[in-house]
Structure 1
Amino acid sequence: MLGEAARAAGYRLIVRDEVGSTMEEARRALAQGDAGKLWIVARSQNAGRGRHGRQWGSPPGNLYASLLLVAPCEPALAPQLGFVAGLALHDAAMLVSGGLQGLKLKWPNDLLVGRAKVSGLLLEGESRAGRLDVVIGLGVNIASCPSDTPYPAAFLRQHVPHVAVEAVLAALSDAWLSRFEAWSRPGGFGPIRAAWLERAAFLGEEITIRLTEGPLSGRFAGLDASGRLELETGAGLRVIDAGDLYFGSPA
């Protein structure tokens, strides 16, 4: 069930036993004229995916959810919704875990416990009739995590043994509402950016960003006013729109 505040604000929930992916279910709802503010949750997925089309393992016991938003903002601002959703993930994890130490946000889209990935999100948009609709896919490792990943992974029950999928969903839906409403105010990305940086993993550390032209290493200096990563390199400051962040050598 969604959180009380989310339900009061008009958000709706559909729960499926198994789907290909919740993101495709959200796109199907959009094509059928859904008005948005719709959470779609599956107990398992057989065709889940992450960034760049990577397969996302989806066994039962974890949270697999997508949020459909119809024309939530000006198209140019849509990438900022990834930071809003990331903060909501962090808020929810902190709430259900009773303040678990080591929860951090990894640019651009992951939630870490220590240096292990416990959650990720995928932001996709669809343009039609001059508007941009958005689907945010969120996966949270609760009961298990994959073992064949190029990075460390973790799941919440390693740290909070009795946490339930239902509690994470309720906390996440209410946290999303709170963060989205704050972001929607004039100048709202400023406070979102500041809150994200307070929770940022590897800030001030040497990192590697995998770009289409190859890996680029430097010091993670911060985010610019639009959310692009600032990387201090030997050749000067680089501003990165998109890429995969690694600590140490890229896998």
Structure 2
Amino acid sequence: MKIVKLNATTSTNSYLRSYTKELNPDTDVLVWTVEQRSGRGQRGAFWEAQPGKNLTFSVFKRIEALSLDRSFYITMATSLAVFEVLEQLGLQQLSVKWPNDILAGRSKICGILIESVIRKDLTAVIIGIGLNVNQVQFSRAPRATSIALETGRYFDLEEILDLLIQKFYTFVARIVSGDFEALKAEYEQKLFRRDKASTFEDPSGNRFTGIIKEVSKTGKLIVQLEDELYKAFDLKELKLLY
């Protein structure tokens, strides 16, 4: 893996997309920035990160022999990799908020944004990760937390980055070996609010009650509704209120 470190950029995902489009690299590339000025999350959300205190990086990962309809397994693998590293660092009450936010308790500690690179077929993915490490005050994200806030300790960013890279490739190897069912089961076991009655909101602002049961192989959330009907939702079709 080639690692590119920047002092500042708008978004590591945007930078990496331009970088790989120009160079068309044969190897994986990681772009890490000290300051990310316009970090993006799911649904176009802003990602708050004080310069030098958190990990904001993106990985260009070539995908071989993985069909487009199985691309969500990359999301599962990345989420599980971050989850296990945080467990290793001593964090508790961790969960995965579908599709790919990591929570400590009810507070967000990590956001993941995955974008597909399609050239005739699924060629690669760009995986953007924002992990709150040493930041202890959040002015624009009141539900955010960090490793430092959860553990009372400060950490070396490069050491955590190395742990994440190692763990990520462990899970990538499982995808390559076809360990899909076990990955899906592990991901579902860690889902926030799974098997609990929860309140959701649709794009029109209508609220309804349902129970998260599982995810489909393509990444849709399977929710049991009040009439016992099971329905699959994609990211734009509902918001979990908690």
TM-score (norm: length of structure 1): 0.85
Within the alignment, does 1:175 sit opposite 2:167 as a pair?
yes
1:55 to 46, 67, 71: 46
Relative to structure 1, the CA distance from residue 56 to residue 35 in structure 2 (aligned partners, 3 Å threshold; closer, same or farther) is same
What's the Cα RMSD here?
2.0
Relative to structure 1, the CA distance from residue 126 to residue 113 in structure 2 (aligned partners, 3 Å threshold; closer, same or farther) is same
Measured against aligned partners, the alpha-carbon deviations of 1:17-36 in whole angstroms (never above 9, x if no partner) come to 11111101210121121224
Relative to structure 1, the CA distance from residue 69 to residue 100 in structure 2 (aligned partners, 3 Å threshold; closer, same or farther) is same
Secondary structure, counterpart of 1:138 in structure 2 = strand
Paired residues, what number?
A: 234
Secondary structure, counterpart of 1:183 in structure 2 = helix
Rounded to whole Å, the distance in 1 between the matches of 2:147 and 2:102 is 11
Rounded to whole Å, the distance in 2 between the matches of 1:19 and 1:205 is 40
Counterpart in the other structure of 2:77: 84
Structure 1 residue 173, shift from structure 2 partner:
0.4
Deviating more after overlay: 203-212 vs 159-168: 203-212
Rounded to whole Å, the distance in 1 between the matches of 2:68 and 2:43 is 21
Q: How does 1:147-226 map to 2 (within 5 A)?
A: 147-149=139-141, 152-160=143-151, 161-186=153-178, 188-214=179-205, 215-226=207-218
- Structure 1 contact 193–227 (Cα < 8 Å) conserved: no
Q: How does 1:1-251 map to 2 (within 5 A)?
A: 11-32=1-22, 33-60=24-51, 61-72=53-64, 73-95=66-88, 97=89, 99-144=90-135, 146-149=138-141, 152-160=143-151, 161-186=153-178, 188-214=179-205, 215-235=207-227, 236-243=229-236, 245-248=239-242
Rounded to whole Å, the distance in 1 between the matches of 2:48 and 2:120 is 35
TM-score (norm: length of structure 2): 0.88
Relative to structure 1, the CA distance from residue 208 to residue 136 in structure 2 (aligned partners, 3 Å threshold; closer, same or farther) is farther
Rounded to whole Å, the distance in 2 between the matches of 1:128 and 1:197 is 31
Give the counterpart letter for 1:82 in structure 2.
T
Relative to structure 1, the CA distance from residue 223 to residue 71 in structure 2 (aligned partners, 3 Å threshold; closer, same or farther) is closer
Secondary structure, counterpart of 2:92 in structure 1 = coil
Rounded to whole Å, the distance in 1 between the matches of 2:20 and 2:217 is 31
Q: Percent identity?
A: 21
- Structure 1 contact 202–247 (Cα < 8 Å) conserved: no
Gaps of 5+ in 2: none
Structure 1 residue 71, shift from structure 2 partner:
3.4
Give the counterpart letter for 2:21 in structure 1.
A
Measured against aligned partners, the alpha-carbon deviations of 1:18-56 in whole angstroms (never above 9, x if no partner) come to 111110121012112122411111111112111122222
Rounded to whole Å, the distance in 2 between the matches of 1:71 and 1:84 is 13
- Structure 1 contact 106–200 (Cα < 8 Å) conserved: yes
Gaps of 5+ in 1: 1-10
- Structure 1 contact 107–245 (Cα < 8 Å) conserved: no
- Structure 2 contact 72–217 (Cα < 8 Å) conserved: no
Structure 1 residue 216, shift from structure 2 partner:
4.3
Provide runs of 4+ in structure 1 moved above 6 Å.
Answer: none
Structure 1 residue 204, shift from structure 2 partner:
1.1
- Structure 2 contact 32–57 (Cα < 8 Å) conserved: yes
Structure 1 residue 78, shift from structure 2 partner:
1.3
Secondary structure, counterpart of 1:159 in structure 2 = helix
